[in-house]
Structure 1
Amino acid sequence: MSHTAHIRSHRKPRRSASRVAMRAGVAGGVLGTLAVAGTSASSANAAEPVTQTLELPTLTSDLAAQVAQSAEATEQAAANYRLGAERDAAAANAAKQAKADLADAQKKAEARKKAAEAARKKAAEAARKAAAERASRTAERPTLTASASAGSTSTSVSASTGSAAAVISFAKAQVGKAYVLGASGPSAYDCSGLTQAAFKQVGISLPRVSQNQSTAGTQVSLSNLQPGDILYWGGAGSAYHVGIYVGNGMFVGAQNPSTGVVERPLSYDPPSGAVRVL
């Protein structure tokens, strides 16, 4: 035996591996229990409602001014938008109305142009007819003058008998009476009203207007007139005046409102033609 065997060693005895393992297991179990307990506590705390108070920022005077300014800017923008929309609508309506007015003005201008053209043509036609009538009168004037100057017995009043004498007598009796357009006696006449009334005395019914009276009988030459022949001014069928040849180069007619019914020489207003109904 060693002489030191009975002396306890000053070194700590070594721990066996099994004891270390056992202690580690116990420690792990304790820590696991604590972890589970902590988790349970956390879950319990999480289940409970948490009340938290939020503090809103204080509305300072600067912030209030900014809010008011923003609201005012928004309102102004809306007003500007509405004003712009109204202006656009007004402009569209004005453009539409202007287009309609232009179309209407163009139609009226075209109508005026057509009316003016029609009036011009009518005036030109009237001038042409008047010129033709003047030319016809000028051409007939020498013949009429010669006939009036001759004063032959074949055209004298004394040579007229029967119906012609009655027509002439009635026509001369109306000299001095008034001219009234559309009148046919007994106190006033127009040109065709006088001739119609005169021939009615001998039972002859003449048309009422000059145009028709100028074609009522047989056309005769102005160089071969007889008392009682109807004289006309203008074209046959379009005459604008009539009278009655009474012989000796004279005629009786209701001329116009200024002169009334008069007896005049053929040279006073040479007729365009004549018809014979007796």
Structure 2
Amino acid sequence: MSPNALIPSHRKPRRSASSRALRAGVTGGFLTLAVTGATVPANAAEKPVSETQEMPTITAALATSAAKSADTAQQVAFSYERQALQDATEAKADKAAGKAKAAADKKAKAEAEAKKAADEARRAKEAAQARASRSDARSTLSDVSGGSSSSSSSSSSSSSSSATGSAATLVSFLKAQLGKAYVMGSNGPASYDCSGLTQAAFSQIGIDLPRVSQSQSTAGTQVGLGNLQVGDILYWGSAGSAYHVAVYVGNGNFIGAQNPSTGIVERPLNYDMPTGAVRVL
């Protein structure tokens, strides 16, 4: 017997070549792969071993979910696009509105400037007419106030001295008020303003005058400053917008409540030439 006969061999038994088969199929909605292999050892037959792996497949639910995700993404993109278009439209409208407002402001400014220029031209024309009227009246009334024409002076003196009836009563009342104070808004008896004095004077003879200068300057018939009579109301400023009134008392003089400094005084016409006159007697 050989000495090596009882020593077990450490070599592994040889394995025969493996044989594997691949099967594929769909079971319960899953893709099924089956791999079958058989290994036969050298000294004995072994049972075949079967190996199976399942992999998920694309189901109808998964496809529907993917489609919904795509629709959602498309809707979001459409929403962004619509918002961008709306923003662009609003920006364009704001720009157009800004231009329109600027044009309107420019037009309004031009109209205001035109109106201002027209008003200034109107005032300048009225002032020129007033100066011309005063100049004419000054040259005409120079004789009445003791100027070059003795006949005019005599006529003025006679008109004053011959004042009778209502005119004489009017002048008498006015002279009695000389020296009293001028107080804005006052109508006597201790103080007056200019229109308050004329209203109070004419009320003595039964004539009811309006309270303010503007209305008194149009209360009667307009007369020229070269044709004044005792009792005519003198006014300064334009008829209907006069700022001061007094009463002509003859001899080229008037009586009026002038201002807070002088009070009620009698002055010659050339002291402050009036603009016009109205006759109510």
Q: TM-score, normalised by structure 1?
A: 0.60
Gap runs ≥5 in structure 1: 1-45, 57-80
The one of 94, 110, 118 aligned to 2:115 = 118
Residues 82 and 216 of structure 1, relative CA distance in 2, 3 Å threshold = closer
1:192 aligns with 2:195: yes
Superposed displacement of residue 89, structure 1: 6.0
Larger RCO, structure (CA 8 Å, separation 6 or more): 1
Residue equivalent to 1:203: 206
Residues 134 and 106 of structure 1, relative CA distance in 2, 3 Å threshold = same
Residue equivalent to 2:96: 99
Residues 123 and 89 of structure 1, relative CA distance in 2, 3 Å threshold = same
Spell out structure 1 runs of 4+ moving beyond 4 A: 48-51, 53-56, 81-92, 218-221, 234-240, 256-260
1:244 aligns with 2:247: yes
Q: Distance in 2 between matches of 1:257 and 1:239?
A: 19
- What amino acid maps onto 2:250 in structure 1? G
Residue equivalent to 2:158: 154
Residue equivalent to 2:182: 178
Q: Distance in 1 between matches of 2:86 and 2:187?
A: 70
Query: Is the Cα contact below 8 Å between 1:211 and 1:239 reproduced in 2?
Result: yes
Q: Distance in 2 between matches of 1:258 and 1:102?
A: 57
- What amino acid maps onto 1:177 in structure 2? A
133-142 or 117-126, which moves further after superposition? 117-126
Question: Once superposed, what is the RMSD of the aligned Cα atoms?
Answer: 3.8
- Identity in percent: 53
Superposed displacement of residue 245, structure 1: 0.9
Gap runs ≥5 in structure 2: 1-24, 34-51, 56-77
Q: Which has the higher helix share?
A: 1
Superposed displacement of residue 266, structure 1: 0.4
Choose 1 or 2 for highest CA Rg: 1
Residues 183 and 95 of structure 1, relative CA distance in 2, 3 Å threshold = farther
Residue equivalent to 1:71: none
Superposed displacement of residue 134, structure 1: 0.6
SS at match of 1:244: strand
Q: Which has the higher strand share?
A: 2
Residues 219 and 86 of structure 1, relative CA distance in 2, 3 Å threshold = closer
Q: TM-score, normalised by structure 2?
A: 0.59
Superposed displacement of residue 217, structure 1: 3.8
Q: Report the number of matched residues.
A: 208
Superposed displacement of residue 130, structure 1: 1.2
Query: Is the Cα contact below 8 Å between 1:214 and 1:274 reproduced in 2?
Result: yes
Superposed displacement of residue 168, structure 1: 1.9
Query: Is the Cα contact below 8 Å between 1:199 and 1:206 reproduced in 2?
Result: yes
Q: Distance in 2 between matches of 1:187 and 1:195?
A: 14
